[in-house]
Structure formats: C-alpha cells, structure tokens
Amino acid sequence: MTEGMVWVVDDDRSIRFVLRKALERAGIPSRAFERAEDVLEALREEHPDVLVSDIRMPGMDGTSLLEEVKRRQPTLPVIIMTAYSDVESAVASFKGGAFEYLAKPFDVVKAVEVIDRARKASAERSSAVGTKVVHDPFALIGQAESMQEIFRAIGRLSQSSVTVLITGESGTGKEVVARSIWQHSPRKNAPYVAVNMAAIPKELLESELFGHEKGAFTGALARREGRFGEARGGTLFLDEIGDMPMELQTRLLRVLSSGTYYRVGGHEPIRADVRVIAATNQALERRVKEGLFREDLYHRLNVIRLRLPPLRCRVADIGPLVRYFLKERAAELGVEEKTLSDEALAVLEKFPFPGNVRQLENVCRWLLVMAPSKLIRPEDLPEEVREGEVFSPVVEEAGEPDEKGVDWRSGLRREIRDALRSGESHPYDRLVTEVEQMLFRAALEHTRGRRGEAATLLGIGRNTLTRKLQIER
C-alpha cells in the first residue's frame, strides 16, 4: 500500500479529476473510482488511509458504502461529499461514523485540508496499534485488576487466530474487546466484520452469514458474498451468539469443524479463512442444558473465554472512563469539554450502573449537554443517578460496610432483585458463578497466584479451584 493513499469515489468524472489534481499538487497520492461496488472489491486487497465518497451514486450510494466500510475497517476515515446538502444526510453520515461532511460545491483548498487532517488521524491510529491497550481508539480502559486480566489475555491472544468467546452483561464492552483483539492480531490488516445475531430476522440470517447465489430464492437478483466472505483473511465478530437459531447453529458448527461453507443455493465449498470471535450476555451453559444451544458448538466456541466484569465490580475504572468520555464526546457533540468534581465522582462510584460502561457513556453525553458549568457537581448529575446513591431500602436489614463504606450485602440483594424483576431465566447459576469467581480471584490475588495455597485458605481442593476458574487454555 502506498503511504498516505487517498481513494476518491464519485460518479461525476469532473469531481474525480479536480480532487485528484488538487491532491497531486499537495503531494498526496490518490486513486479514483466511479462506483462504490468497485471500492468494496478493491478493499479485499488494498487498504487506503482515507476514503472520500459522494453520497448519491448509481447502484450503491455513499451512505451504504460508509456502513459497509465501517464494518470492514472501523478506523478508516471516510469523508462524505454531496450536492444535496440537508440535515438528514448530514445526520446519517455522522451517525454512520463519517470523519467529515463536505457540501458541494466545496472549496478545493479546504477539501484538501480536511483530507490531510484525516490522513494524519489515520496515521496516528495506525501507529497506536501495538502500544498499550489503554490507548486503544475504542476506549478499552481499565485500572481494575479484572480488566488488567483482560488486557493480559488480549496480549496472549495477539499471536494466534484461535476462536474466542466473550461473555458479560450488556454494555460491558464485549465488542470493544473484540475489536481490540482484532487490532492486535496477525489479521489486523484484514477486514473486521461484526454481525448482531439478535438484530437480523431469522429467515435472512443464513444468507447474511454465508451469502447466496443468484436465483437461490425469490429476490436473489445477484450473487451475495455474505459476512464470512467479507471477513476473508480477517475477523468475524458474532454478537449475541446465544440468540442464533438452532438450524444456523448446525451450519456454524460445520464451518468451524471443516473450515468450509456453502452459499445458499451454491454447490462449491468455500474456504472460511476467518477468525471467529463470539459474544453473549446469556449463560450458554444453561441454554445448553435447556436444549436451546448445541453443546458441541458451545465447546467449539469456548476455546478461549474472556469474562468481562460489570462496571459495579470495577469501581476504580469509573473515574478514568468518565474523563475519557467527557473529553472525546465533547468534540463529537460540538460542545466544550467539562470536568467532574471529586464529589460528583463519589456519587457515580456508588451508583450500580445496570447498563454498565454504555450507560456511563450516555450519562457523560447527558452531562456535556445539560450540565450548566464546566465543573460538574453532584447536583448536576441526572436524577436517577443521584437517587441511586443508596443501594437498598431502609426496611431491609443493613449489612456490614467494607473498608470503602459500601454495603456489599445490600448491593448483592439489589442485584438479585434486578435479576428477578427483569425476568431473567434462572439467575441462580449466574449469580453463584459470579460470586465464586470474585472469591477465587481475591484469594489468588492474596496468595500471588499460588493456587494450592488459595485453595487451602478457602477450604476447597486445588482441582476444584482450577476447574471452577476455567482458566483460559
């Protein structure tokens, strides 16, 4: 790949010519495309530093191209240009992850400046790969020991393409971890493709994953690659894997076992050159017992397992996360940066955050827009956060606070009540497992990793400790 390469796609030949000449004068190498489909084809073999795309083109439009590019290369800066400037297209562009939005006719000098800024941002992101995970552009931040374990696991996984299963509550950052694994893997220069199993209708899921041949079914007017094909050489992230229909589980198992698959309506086997990372917020073990998830597929996916802790179990990370979100989202929202007072942080640290990191990020967005001053005080926090400072009703028996003043028994009772109110199926297994894991990890931390000593202190056998920990192999 040529250093600093810029791709320009526009069905208007004059626009392509003017932009390429301007880039040439600025010493910036470029390549032009007439169709979005040609860009996607070229992305299989090459990776530009910046993509500049028209929004209205015959065939695939710029919005669809932006969506597809972000699935394959999430960090690639995409600049959208349009002669039909309106709120809807601007909002759609930025919502889709566009780096900038240029309304035609635009000042060529300004356009080149924007493109050059995007090139520098791309270079900075590329140089960040291989550095500490905490500097990851997807905000994988954590000082808590449980997150340091995740960081170390990502480091160990950086030299392999083994299948990974990521589990954790909704909002804990499963896709952020998946992206980080991809970024630090041997497949980092190949596509990253994410699929949410719960968001795709059951009848379309097979074609979505494996593609289809022309004429395979009504409406199949052309061959479609499918997500496995789009991720060729790279990483396929299957989110909410627990929601995959049973019949599709069989097909996925076959792919993982044989390394090949067939398009819908196809007869030629296709090699599946992808690394699969799966994620779920469900207890797959329980779904296996209930007959809702194949046991053999579970074992195929569960080669390396990463359990993401909920935010309430990593209180030390709330401060760094808030500082990050307040800084990064200010530019996104077009508002001035704000800081959090120590008193406001103390309130946040007591809030259980049932929505985890995603909820904390949304709280930060709210504060950036709604807080009246640059210094955020407790009274500026959302009402539900202020009210959530107390963990348990007065009528309940109080537990003993720990050294930080947190009543852990009340917190546990709250977790149990939330699980029951939400309709979670059989929360016993999950809760017992989480408490056990916390106990085991604390004991191992106390003994500096000596399992035998930790097991003796806990009054259990070493083999029991090892088995229940389910240490990543």
What gap in Å lies between CA 283 and CA 288, rounded to an integer?
Answer: 9
Q: Residue 392: which residues within 8 A CB-CB, separation 6 or more?
A: 398, 407, 410, 411, 413, 414
Query: Residue 329: in which H helix or E strand, if any?
Result: helix 318-333
Q: CATH assignment of 422-469? A: 1.10.10.60
CATH 3.40.50.970 for domain 311-387: no
Domain with CATH 1.10.8.60 in the chain: 311-387
Domain with CATH 3.40.50.300 in the chain: 145-307
Residue 271 dihedral angles phi and psi, to the nearest 5°? -70, 130
What gap in Å lies between CA 468 and CA 466, rounded to an integer?
Answer: 6
Q: Please, what is the average pLDDT of the chain?
A: 82
Q: Residue 197: which residues within 8 A CB-CB, separation 6 or more?
A: 205, 238, 239, 240, 241, 242, 243, 244
**pLDDT, tens digit, 9 for 90 and up, residues 417-464:** 777 766 777 778 778 877 888 888 788 777 777 778 888 888 888 777
Tokens (6 digits) for 248: 């599709």
pTM of the model: 0.55
Kindly tell me if the per-residue pLDDT of 345 is higher than 80: yes
Query: What is the domain class of 145-307 according to CATH?
Result: alpha beta
Q: Residue 291: which residues within 8 A CB-CB, separation 6 or more?
A: none
The closest alpha carbon to 378, from 423, 341, 337, belongs to 341
Q: Which residues face 304 on adjacent strands?
A: 164
Domain with CATH 1.10.10.60 in the chain: 422-469
Name the CATH superfamily housing domain 6-128: Response regulator (3.40.50.2300)
Domain with CATH 3.40.50.2300 in the chain: 6-128
Tokens (6 digits) for 56: 């209205």
**pLDDT, tens digit, 9 for 90 and up, residues 32-55:** 999 999 999 888 878 888 999 988
Q: What is the mean pLDDT of residues 122-132?
A: 47
Q: Residue 390: which residues within 8 A CB-CB, separation 6 or more?
A: none
Range list of H helices, 236-275: 246-258
Tokens (6 digits) for 186: 């041997």
